Amino acid sequence: MGQIDRKIGETRPVIRQLDEGAINRIAAGEVVERPASAVKELVENAIDAGATRISVDVADGGKTLIRVTDDGCGMTPDDLPLALSRHATSKIDGSDLLNIHSFGFRGEALPSLGAVGRLTITSRAAGFDAATIRVAGGRTDPVKPAALRAGTVVELRDLFYATPARLKFLRSDRAEAQAIADVVKRLAMAEPGVGFTLRDVSGGGEGREVFRADAEQGDLFGALGARLARVMGADFIANALQIDATRDGLRLLGYAGLPTFSRGAAVAQYFFVNGRPVRDRMLTGALRAAYMDVLARDRHPAAALFIDCDPQLVDVNVHPAKSEVRFRDAGLARGLIVSALRHALAEEGHRASNTVATATLGAMRAEPAGGPPRIYQMDRPSQAALRASWAAQAPGFADLAAGYSARVEEAAIEQAEDLPLGAARAQVHGNYIIAQTETGIVIVDQHAAHERLVYEKLKAQMAETGIAAQALLIPDVVDLSHTDRALLLDAAEDLARLGLVVEPFGPGAVAVRETPAILGEVNAASLIRDILDELTEEGEATGVKARIDAILSRVACHGSVRSGRRMRAEEMNALLREMEATPHSGQCNHGRPTYVELKLSDIERLFGRT
């Protein structure tokens, strides 16, 4: 092994003051990671300036051009040189760094952009003439008169030309353009009252409109819902729950998707704190915990959640990009998200997403793609055909019904078609219940539905009687570091409620004295380390409860109505009524839908009866 080079020269290093250009380039490395970072900073400045319309033009993924135009308050000619000075800002006075009500507050973005690219700012404030200023590679030109009606235009060309090594770390133009679109959409979700336009002007000209969202009007949920429908899609709003909850100075509002409207990856999860888009592991973990009991492990919920609170309760100054926040009481924020979402999901009862029905209809549709709609003979029958068909139908249907298996006799049909899941009409293939409602039909997977019902009953019984613990004849001693030991003992009271009793055992270990009886024989050391991983990452131990719920789910699966069992009419209707009264009955224990509802109008379209 060679000698380690500690990069210490023979002469004593001299401490020197860096010049302003080097300082700005270093700051730019923290603030401006890629073109999307520059767009984020400039659009946030426009929002802080009170803009109601913001237009973003980019070329070549933002590498050669980023232009942000707004109708905000603008700047005076005297303001322009000051705006390009480091730590010069109109957002705060510096007396209280926790009382932040704006997106920006550091005064680093514009000088950083000017240090690594060619930046031009043209602006006009009310009562002043328009002016422009240019800065390239940290060298600033004098302020000059310009022509502009109102607002501000910031144009950034040749990003990172002054630091060409950074260009090698950028991704393809398409990937960078996608990142810019994501930034603009997140800010559009945060500000429904502001209109946004994003254009790709690569190659010159007017370019191609990538995204557009006009300013929304109406009340809070009306404007927010319309904006989310524009950004996340109308299907999301149609299959989402309104969330509005308050606890100890924190307010949570927004929309959360139904469990059956889940995604294969966590790509539709958006969080905002005091209107600021953030990416926070604690918030993501809270969302996952809220859906833990209604989604499979490989599925992810869709949600757009906004937390509003006094700025003193949250620190937004913990990351140069301002994408992370730190709550004074993280447990309070996490608990609010988990409890509010679980309550909203339980209140929805048996509801499932309408996309399930849409997918079902799509699978059933046999119309050829393209061309005029097919015209069926029944749409234009002759009088002779009508007379012949009536004569043929008169004697036949009663005989046909007599031989139909697994049907529900008319006398046994409960008059419940006005109820959400209707009245059972038949059972087919020994597993599917066909029910008739006022507006269509419902197809129920009897095994999946009953599995959820049994599971919810088992959970309710366990909540009433508690989780039985089994005492270990010889306690398991688990060696831990001082930090892990303290972290685990802080959560000991919560773990005891789940049947896991741990006690301190010397300076560097804990003793596991009781474990949940339903788990049977467990590896205490492995369980403790899994819990510590969760406590470290998410601040809460959900692993024990997840294991208990998994066992209850398996018990429910084996104790539920099996596929292939013939059910009587009263049994089928009883199952439907119980589904209507049971939370989460719209999906099975693994997050799959338990029923599909097809509207009569959709069925008629399948057969060309529109």
Look-up: residue for tokens 């009409």? 425
* CATH code at 220-347: 3.30.230.10
Q: What is the mean pLDDT of residues 348-364?
A: 70
In the chain, domain spans: 20-213, 220-347, 349-365+406-610
Q: What is the mean pLDDT of residues 427-442?
A: 90
C-beta neighbour count of 287 within 10 angstroms = 23
Model confidence at 250: pLDDT above 50: yes
Model confidence at 412: pLDDT above 50: no
Percent of the chain with pLDDT over 90: 33
Can you give the pLDDT at residue 316? 73
The rounded distance, in Å, linking the Cα atoms of 200 and 70 is: 17
Model confidence at 360: pLDDT above 60: yes
* CATH code at 349-365+406-610: 3.30.1370.100
- State the average pLDDT for the chain: 82
Q: Please give the angle made by the CA atoms of 348, 350 and 355, to the nearest 5 degrees.
A: 90
Whether residue 86 contacts residue 27, with contact meaning beta carbons closer than 8 Å, is answered with yes
Model confidence at 104: pLDDT above 70: no
Least confident of 38-52, 77-91, 394-408, 504-518: 394-408
Name the pLDDT band for 560 (thresholds 50, 70, 90).
confident
Pick 577 or 108 by higher pLDDT.
577
Phi, psi at 501, each rounded to 5°: -105, 120
Look-up: residue for tokens 């998994």? 550
Q: Please give the angle made by the CA atoms of 540, 352 and 449, to the nearest 5 degrees.
A: 85
Can you give the pLDDT at residue 30? 64
Model confidence at 391: pLDDT above 80: no
Pick 350 or 404 by higher pLDDT.
350
The rounded distance, in Å, linking the Cα atoms of 58 and 52 is: 20
Can you give the pLDDT at residue 229? 94
Can you give the pLDDT at residue 72? 92
Q: Which two tokens stand for residue 366?
A: 């046999």
Give per-residue pLDDT as tens, 513-558.
998 887 778 888 888 888 888 777 666 666 677 777 776 776 677 6
Pick 332 or 591 by higher pLDDT.
332
Q: What is the mean pLDDT of residues 343-359?
A: 77
What value does the CA radius of gyration of the chain take, rounded to a whole number of Å? Answer: 32
Give per-residue pLDDT as tens, 184-195.
999 999 999 999
Q: What is the mean pLDDT of residues 553-567?
A: 75
Nearest alpha carbon to residue 510 among 546, 556, 479, 482: 479
CA dihedral 514, 520, 526, 529 (to 10 degrees): -50
The three-class DSSP label of residue 473 is strand
DSSP string, 318-355: SSTTS---EETTHHHHHHHHHHHHHHHHHHTTT---HH
Pick 18 or 283 by higher pLDDT.
283
Q: Which two tokens stand for residue 12?
A: 């004593």
Query: Contacts for 45-48 with beta carbons within 8 Å, 24 or more apart?
Result: 45/103, 45/104, 45/109, 45/110, 45/154, 46/70, 46/72, 46/152, 47/103, 47/187, 47/191, 47/194, 48/72, 48/91, 48/102, 48/103, 48/104
Pick 390 or 518 by higher pLDDT.
518
C-beta neighbour count of 486 within 10 angstroms = 11
Nearest alpha carbon to residue 332 among 256, 251, 253: 251
Whether residue 605 contacts residue 451, with contact meaning beta carbons closer than 8 Å, is answered with no
Q: What is the mean pLDDT of residues 365-393?
A: 52
Nearest alpha carbon to residue 71 among 170, 200, 246, 196: 196
Model confidence at 102: pLDDT above 70: no
DSSP state of 263: B
Please classify residue 230 by burial: count the beta carbons closer than 10 Å to its beta carbon, then call 0-12 exposed, 13-18 middle and 19+ buried: buried
**C-alpha distance from residue 568 to each of 406, 407, 560, 573, 575 (Å):** 9, 9, 16, 9, 11
Pick 382 or 331 by higher pLDDT.
331
- The class (CATH top level) of 20-213 is alpha beta
Whether residue 226 contacts residue 218, with contact meaning beta carbons closer than 8 Å, is answered with yes
Model confidence at 120: pLDDT above 90: yes
Give per-residue pLDDT as tens, 303-341.
999 999 988 888 776 665 667 788 888 889 999 999 999
C-beta neighbour count of 95 within 10 angstroms = 6
Nearest alpha carbon to residue 62 among 98, 94, 34: 34
Model confidence at 405: pLDDT above 50: no
Whether residue 251 contacts residue 245, with contact meaning beta carbons closer than 8 Å, is answered with yes
Nearest alpha carbon to residue 106 among 91, 121, 84, 116: 91
Q: What is the mean pLDDT of residues 439-464?
A: 86
Q: Which two tokens stand for residue 83?
A: 């705006």
Name the pLDDT band for 387 (thresholds 50, 70, 90).
low
Phi, psi at 326, each rounded to 5°: -135, 120
Model confidence at 133: pLDDT above 90: yes
The three-class DSSP label of residue 498 is coil
Name every residue whose Cβ is closer than 8 Å to that of residue 127 and which is 6 or more positions away in sequence: none
Name the pLDDT band for 467 (thresholds 50, 70, 90).
confident
Model confidence at 21: pLDDT above 60: yes
Name every residue whose Cβ is closer than 8 Å to that of residue 268 and which is 6 or more positions away in sequence: 232, 236, 257, 300, 302, 303
Give per-residue pLDDT as tens, 190-213.
999 999 999 999 988 888 999 999
Pick 392 or 253 by higher pLDDT.
253
Model confidence at 572: pLDDT above 50: yes
Look-up: residue for tokens 């009306």? 222
Name the pLDDT band for 139 (thresholds 50, 70, 90).
confident
Q: Which two tokens stand for residue 134?
A: 């240019």
The DSSP H or E segment spanning 532 is: helix 524-538
Phi, psi at 379, each rounded to 5°: -80, -15
Can you give the pLDDT at residue 107? 56
Least confident of 510-514, 539-543, 590-594: 539-543
Look-up: residue for tokens 């139904």? 258
Least confident of 64-68, 464-468, 534-538, 596-600: 534-538
Provide the residue type at 573 as one letter. Answer: N
Q: What is the mean pLDDT of residues 407-425?
A: 68
Least confident of 369-378, 434-443, 458-467: 369-378
The rounded distance, in Å, linking the Cα atoms of 360 and 355 is: 8
Look-up: residue for tokens 């002759």? 382
The rounded distance, in Å, linking the Cα atoms of 585 and 224 is: 29
The rounded distance, in Å, linking the Cα atoms of 79 and 146 is: 15
